[in-house]
């Protein structure tokens, strides 16, 4: 492997050989001209003279050769290596455990090398599910809801100042509650000091009224499985009173609720961490202004770097959008999405079947 300051790359070796072959330099003179040892010049000139015409044309004879020996008489035979790999796949034992097996008479270091060559030294990673992208046709057909936690601070931290000696200790947390419309990406957020059931219910009430003021009537609300969403009587009463269908994602599958997760990523990068705030109170006061900027002036990559259309009312969507099949599974008061994520079907405009 050549480093950045190597005197001889393949091109440099070619020029070195040409000094001897065409210019008539002696080995010692060519070594002095290229600042290398005389033995190095001899090695490359000898390889050039012993190479074929095709190897000279492509300069393949001047490439580095593998240091692997041509013959390894002490290497584990192929039949025995296949048996070790088969035993590994059948039992899942580690190299040390395999070394204790009666049919394997090899040290654990040798077994590890056999498993590495056989491609079974590590368990294969589980296959990631396919990415399913979807968008509802009309605003209000699906709202995404989640909470993001940010730490409070009394003065700028080391991320802004570079000084790690000053820290805001035990000052608490702030919880940003957010709801994003699936179709229009219209967002509503508030900061609170907790994520208890009463706080979540009050926030949801104000958010739904805010969306209603923009002509968006919520039909479905997607959340994770936090206790304030699943065990709160006031929250259940609210969505029942508003005739909202509550969709709960699969546990440990935040990608299903990806639109609000992506909104929170943007929220943290552009609002929470990019500006330098004097305190968390100043950051709190800046949130309404940033939300207004997000809803009115910020472009969206999902809309090809254009302003996202803020549609309202009941207008049909484009034909390329797909809808969600919100078939109910499980108990009567709980809807859990299928294990593969959202069950989607191609559709055009209009209301989906329920």
Domain endpoint, select from 62, 86, 105 = 62
Is 50 exceeded by the pLDDT of residue 329?
no
322 and 204 share a domain? yes
Q: What is the DSSP string of 94-105?
A: -HHHHHTSTT--
* Residue 176, strand partner residues: 148, 191
| 200 belongs to a structural domain | yes
Q: Residue 263: inside a domain, yes or no?
A: yes
Instruction: Tell me, yes or no, whether 281 and 332 share the same domain.
Output: yes
Name residues whose C-beta falls within 8 Å of residue 293's C-beta, 6 or more positions apart in sequence.
none
Give the model's confidence band at 306: pLDDT under 50 very low, under 70 low, under 90 confident, else very high: low
Same domain, 219 and 258: yes
Asked whether residue 260 is domain-assigned, the answer is yes
Integer Cα distance of 284 and 193 in angstroms: 11
Mean pLDDT over the full length of the chain: 83
* pTM of the shown model: 0.63
Closest CA to 224 of 316, 145, 320, 142: 145
Confidence class of residue 345 from pLDDT cuts 50, 70 and 90? very low
| pLDDT for residue 122 is more than 70 | yes
Q: Which of 87-101, 198-212, 233-247, 312-326 has the lowest mean pLDDT?
A: 312-326
Q: Are residues 169 and 301 in the same domain?
A: yes
Q: How confident is the model at residue 5 (pLDDT cuts 50, 70, 90)?
A: low
SS3 288: helix
Same domain, 153 and 216: yes
Give pLDDT tens digits for 124-161: 888 888 888 888 999 999 999 999 999 998 888 777 77
User: What's residue 64's pLDDT?
Assistant: 87
Do residues 165 and 216 share a domain? yes
| Residue 113 pLDDT exceeds 60 | yes
> Mapping DSSP to helix (H, G, I), strand (E, B) and coil, where does residue 66 land?
coil
Calpha distance 162→153 (Å, rounded): 15
86 and 163 belong to one structural domain? no
Are 52 and 192 contained in the same domain?
no
Q: How many CB atoms lie within 10 A of CB 154?
A: 14
Q: Which tens digits make up the pLDDT trace of 37-79?
A: 999 999 999 999 999 999 998 889 988 888 888 888 889 999 9
Query: Would residue 67 count as lying in a domain?
Result: no
For residue 283, the model assigns a pLDDT of: 94
Question: Which residues is 189 bridged to in the sheet?
Answer: 178
The first and second tokens of residue 197, run together, are: 């059931």
CB proximity list for 123: less than 8 A, separation 6 or greater: 92
DSSP-based three-state secondary structure for 223: strand
**Which residues make Cβ contacts (< 8 Å) with residue 170, sequence separation at least 6?**
none
- Establish if 97 belongs to a structural domain: yes
Banded model confidence at residue 331, pLDDT cuts 50, 70, 90? very low
Pair type for strands 187-192 and 220-223: unpaired
- 150, 44: one domain: no
Q: Compute the C-alpha angle 329/330/333, nearest 5°.
A: 100
Is residue 269 one of the residues assigned to a domain? yes
pLDDT for the residue numbered 305: 67
* First CA to last CA distance, the chain: 63
- Burial string for 228-265 (b: 16+ CB within 10 Å, else e) reads bbeebeebbebbeeeebbbbbbbeebeebbbbbbbbbe
Q: What is the CATH number of the domain that holds 165?
A: 3.30.420.10
What is the reported pLDDT for 157? 76
Residues 187 and 258 in one domain: yes
Instruction: Kindly give the pairing relationship between strand 143-151 and strand 220-223.
Output: parallel
Q: Does 187 share its domain with 272?
A: yes
229 falls within a domain: yes
Number of domains in the chain: 3
Closest among 137, 173, 152 to 313, alpha carbons compared: 137
Same domain, 255 and 342: yes
Q: For residue 243, name the pLDDT band (cuts at 50, 70, 90).
A: very high
> Domain residues for 22?
10-62
Predicted local distance difference test score (pLDDT) of residue 161 = 74
Does any domain span residue 127? Answer: no
């Amino acid at each position: 492997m050549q480093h950045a300051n190597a005197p001889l790359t393949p091109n440099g070796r070619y020029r070195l050989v040409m000094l001897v072959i065409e210019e008539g330099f002696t080995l010692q003179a060519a070594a002095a001209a290229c600042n290398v040892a005389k033995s190095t010049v001899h090695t490359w000139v000898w390889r050039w003279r012993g190479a074929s015409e095709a190897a000279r044309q492509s300069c393949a004879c001047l490439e580095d050769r593998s240091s692997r020996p041509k013959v390894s008489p002490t290497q584990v035979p192929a039949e025995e290596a296949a048996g070790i790999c088969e035993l590994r796949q059948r039992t899942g034992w580690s190299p040390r455990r395999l070394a204790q097996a009666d049919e394997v008479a090899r040290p654990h270091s040798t077994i590890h090398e056999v498993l590495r060559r056989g491609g079974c030294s590590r368990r294969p990673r589980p296959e990631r599910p396919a990415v399913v992208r979807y968008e509802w046709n009309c605003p209000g057909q699906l709202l995404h809801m989640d909470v993001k936690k940010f730490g409070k601070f009394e003065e700028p931290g080391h991320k802004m100042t570079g000084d790690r000696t000053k820290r805001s200790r035990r000052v608490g947390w702030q919880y940003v509650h957010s709801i994003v419309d699936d179709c229009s990406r219209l967002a509503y957020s508030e900061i609170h000091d907790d994520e208890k059931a009463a706080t979540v219910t009050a926030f949801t009430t104000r958010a739904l009224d805010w969306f209603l003021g923009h002509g968006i009537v919520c039909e479905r609300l997607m959340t994770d499985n936090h206790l304030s969403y699943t065990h709160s009587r006031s929250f259940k009463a609210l969505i029942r009173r508003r005739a909202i269908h509550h969709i709960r994602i699969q546990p440990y599958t935040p990608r299903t609720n990806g639109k609000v997760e992506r909104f929170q990523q943007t929220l943290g990068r552009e609002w929470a961490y990019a500006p330098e705030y004097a305190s968390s109170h100043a950051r709190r006061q800046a949130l309404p202004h940033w939300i207004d900027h997000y809803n009115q002036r910020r472009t969206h990559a999902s809309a090809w770097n254009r302003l996202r259309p803020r549609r309202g009312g009941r207008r049909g969507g484009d034909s390329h959008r797909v809808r969600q099949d919100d078939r109910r599974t499980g108990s009567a008061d709980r809807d859990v999405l299928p294990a593969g994520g959202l069950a989607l079907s191609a559709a055009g405009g209009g209301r989906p079947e329920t």
